Chain A
Amino acid sequence: MAQSPSAKYKPGDQVRIRVGVPPTHFRTPEYVQGKQGEIETSWGAYPNPEGLAYGGDGLPAQPLYLVKFAQTDLWTNYEGAAKDALLLDIYENWLESI
């Protein structure tokens, strides 16, 4: 884990995933962009893949979170149970406060 500015969000916080498809490397799938989720776990900070991908050091490190979504919020035609969830790790520069 890299040293970094402290995490802006804590478990239980509601967040929205930023929308954006830069031509460069990033790790936020489009299917969660614009969607609302809840911080499940705060992992600490890690070098930013958007810099690492081009040979940079990825600093400053980005706080990383496991974010939980309701499947029914992600897909209009979700056929599973209403309580089903999807979780994925997202760097803080992709999160917006609600």
Chain B
Amino acid sequence: MADNGHSHGDNAEYYALRAEAIQALLIEKGVCTMDDIMTMADKIDSRSPADGAKVLAHAWVDPEYKARLLADAESALLELGYDLPETAPKLTVLENTDDVHNMAVCTLCSCYPRAIIGRPPAWYKGLAYRSRVVVDPRGVLQEFGTELDEDVQVRVIDSSADYRYLVLPKRPAGTEGMSEEDLAKLITQESMIGVGLALTPEQVSAS
């Protein structure tokens, strides 16, 4: 079963060719150009977890910025030069603390804060994660190697409509003197979805 969106199934060759045929017809009919498609592809490629990490690291070091980011993510992103497209879904940032751990999913399809952190990882689109994380979030966290204290409240956010959710991970202990740039390296894609925590400086230097 092509559970996590891999393309190496029996159908891949057929669909690759079918997609090419559809594009060729759209171009012949003057609906769009290959240049339009490649320009869009480059635009989508230009967003990655590093963009989210940069914003969230800034929120770690500047409490006033963090407050603005949590209250109105889109305006706060604009302050750092990220102008989300008019057509992009709305964005909200959720803060993980000592007491609350948020984690995001889309059980119905694959809604994800693409406009700021790019395309979702394959597992996020797969049936195992989408089926299980809502009913057994703590089991899923363990599967990702994430340990939480028993008394932390786990909040699963199922992105089902016009909002996309970006998790602000908890800042690890022992990072007080670090530069914003080095802090950003602690913020992984998994920590911004909420299946992981931010890395510790020791984890980064060991890798």
Contacts and interface: CB of A to CB of B under 8 A. Distances in A.
Direct contact of A and B (CB under 8 A): yes
B31 to A, nearest CB: 16
A85 B107 contact: no
A56 B139 CA distance: 41
Contacts of A46: 161-162
Interface in A72-94: 74-75, 78-81, 83-91
Contacts of A10: none
B177 to A, nearest CB: 34
- Among A27, A43, A71, A78, max chain B CB count under 10 A is at A71
Nearest to B155: A85
Nearest to A68: B155
A97 B137 CA distance: 29
Contact of B158 (A29, A79, A83, A91): A29
- Among A49, A78, A88, A91, max chain B CB count under 10 A is at A88
B157 interface: yes
A27 B106 CA distance: 11
Nearest to A32: B158
B139 A87 contact: no
A19 B69 CA distance: 36
- Among B108, B151, B158, B159, max chain A CB count under 10 A is at B158
B70 interface: no
Interface in B23-81: none
Given A27-B108, A29-B107, A31-B134, A81 B154 contact: yes
Give the interface size bracket for A toward B.
20 to 34
A42 interface: no
Interface residues of B, number: 23
A86 B153 contact: no
B163 interface: yes
Contacts of A31: 107, 134-135
Nearest to A82: B153
B161 A49 contact: yes
Contact of A80 (B108, B138, B157, B160): B138
Contact of B160 (A71, A84, A89): A89
Interface of A: 27-29, 31, 43, 46, 49, 64, 66, 71, 74-75, 78-81, 83-91
15 contacts: A29-B108, A29-B160, A31-B107, A43-B90, A78-B135, A79-B138, A81-B150, A81-B152, A81-B154, A83-B153, A84-B137, A84-B154, A87-B156, A87-B157, A91-B161
Given A80-B137, A88-B157, 14 more contacts: A29-B107, A43-B90, A43-B162, A49-B161, A64-B161, A74-B135, A75-B135, A81-B150, A81-B151, A84-B153, A88-B160, A89-B160, A89-B162, A89-B163
